[in-house]
Amino acid sequence: MSRSDVVGYACAIGIMSGTSADGADAALVTVERGLAPRRTKLVAWSHRAYAPAFRDRVLAAQEGTLPMRDLLALHVEVGQYAALTALDALGAPEARGLRPEVAGMHGQTVFHDPQGKRSGVALSIQIGEPTAVARALDCSVVSNFRMADVLEGGEGAPLVPRFDFHQFVSDVSDRVLLNLGGIANLTRLKPNAQVEEIVAFDCGSGNMLLDAIMASLDPQGSRYDDQGQEAARGRADEEVVKEFLADPFIARRPPKSAGREEFGAAYLERFLSRTGGLSLADRLRTAVEITAGAVARGVALSGNGKPDEVLVSGGGARNRTLLRAIGAALPGSKVRTTEALGVPVSAKEAMAFAFLAFESVSGRPGNVPSATGARKEVVLGSITPAPYTK
């Protein structure tokens, strides 16, 4: 009997690679067994940054310009990268004696077309070979999380709301869980919310535009604006902000989801063309206000009244200028990070996919139809078994 069985917890590990394509995160967690809500606790976390050449290939895959054979090779390499990141977490001193029952690998999204508008087939494709992870960790792996929801007519995203419900639902506080990854997405949890009452959706670009501006224009070649220091020196072009907030996606009522198809290279090119006369700082500040405005409009779409709290996670949670802008756009709501409730901002999504993997192998649904638009709840993912041993 393992230590996790003694205390009534399952041990799982989640591996997340987001649309920012900056690397892989792994979170080793314990998940409460039994009735809802089942809380998840972080044990150890690790991050492996993508090398520049590797990241370029991932971005090319996301933009649809990577040749097919290179894409197939990248599929295996992303899985190997995920396995190494998970082993890093398992090697942490605080993980001693724990071994996961299951791993949840999100993989790297390379094409998201849940309504089939671009391809003619409803799909959401993530690369990352799960066998590489199962072999390295000697446990079963849940991957391909999104397609079960897509095939039920859903967006396949966001999937984190089921985790948000278990982890953050409150008796008294009206909460918005805001994740600022490459895409900004939110979950609205009214006090004592039930699963069928959850509202969640992607609300616009998160870090994607900000990081792309830095990568394109910063003479030092930085991947991101550390803590929003450069943006803090700039002034926003209000006309550009107004124009970009008129994007039909931002006003569209949920369910809705987005990827680089909406906010990738073409979106960056349009922004750079429109802001050609601005300094780097002014461009970044303009992009900050676009992101903050999209978040505020998303919150307004999520339900009546102002939420008591906005709990922020993801890389954007470390951008102080962006957090201040969101706070200004949402007067009356307390804006703070998920770390205030014991969930590190960088680990939250990896923790979520560890939780979802445990739900899948337990035969429980992982999607939230009110968030994705699916016809019904479904068990998520494809399961790759642990290697056979006699």
Structure tokens at 352: 């979520």
Rounded distance between C-alpha atoms, residue 193 and residue 198, angstroms: 7
Structure tokens at 382: 């494809």
Whether residue 18 is annotated as binding a ligand: the answer is yes
Rounded distance between C-alpha atoms, residue 54 and residue 245, angstroms: 33
Whether residue 23 is annotated as binding a ligand: the answer is yes
> H or E stretch including 210?
helix 208-217
Largest CA distance in the chain: 68
Whether residue 22 is annotated as binding a ligand: the answer is yes
Whether residue 338 is annotated as binding a ligand: the answer is no
Rounded distance between C-alpha atoms, residue 183 and residue 257, angstroms: 9
Whether residue 24 is annotated as binding a ligand: the answer is yes
Whether residue 20 is annotated as binding a ligand: the answer is yes
Whether residue 25 is annotated as binding a ligand: the answer is yes
In the block, tokens 């917890």 appear at: 9
Could you tell me which residues are annotated as the binding site?
A: 18-25
Could you tell me which residues are annotated as the binding site for ATP?
A: 18-25
